[in-house]
């Protein structure tokens, strides 16, 4: 049965463990995918920086890979701490070193496959 971990499990920004270990363990299960979303509301709403969140995104990307990670905006909840554009820019930054096919997987393909959605 497919399982989708929303918002990367809502890590407490500023703490690494036990969250990072849990992500590594979940990523070892082939039926689990994760959403690259929801981090801005786990950080200080008024003072977060992209550099505060990037390590969490990169650990999830390294653990799950682009074929098992999908972008999610967490809109409208994200607007408590950031604009939609800021959230999208964070995800794009995390995926900047991926190939075009890998970026397509994160921003469309993984969700299409997991949720059985039609292609664009």
Asked if residue 11 belongs to a domain, the reply is: yes
* Total-model pTM: 0.94
Across the range 5-25, mean pLDDT stands at 97
User: Would you say residue 119 lies in a domain?
Assistant: no
Predicted local confidence at residue 119, as pLDDT: 80
Domain count, the chain: 1
Is 97 among the domain residues?
yes
- Tens of pLDDT along 78-93? 999 999 999 999 999 9
- Residue 82, domain extent: 3-114
- Does residue 120 lie within any of the structural domains? no
Q: Is residue 10 part of a domain?
A: yes
Residue 25: inside a domain, yes or no?
Answer: yes
| Pairwise CA distance, residues 35 & 3, whole Å | 11
| Distance from C-alpha of 73 to C-alpha of 91, rounded to nearest angstrom | 9
pLDDT in tens, 51-77: 999 999 999 999 999 999 999 989 999
CATH of the domain at 97: 3.20.20.140
In this structure, what token pair is assigned to residue 78? Answer: 């994200």
């Amino acid at each position: 049965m497919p399982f989708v971990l929303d918002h990367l499990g809502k890590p407490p920004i500023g703490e690494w463990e036990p969250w990072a270990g849990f992500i590594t363990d979940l990523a070892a299960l082939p039926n689990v995918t994760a959403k690259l979303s929801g981090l801005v509301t786990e950080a200080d709403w008024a003072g977060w920086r992209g550099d505060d969140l990037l390590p969490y995104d990169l650990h999830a990307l390294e653990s799950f890979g682009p074929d098992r990670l999908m972008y999610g905006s967490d809109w409208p909840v994200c607007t408590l701490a950031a604009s939609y554009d800021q959230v999208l820019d964070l995800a794009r930054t995390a995926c900047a070193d991926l190939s075009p096919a890998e970026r397509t997987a994160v921003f469309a393909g993984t969700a299409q496959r997991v949720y059985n959605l039609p292609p664009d």
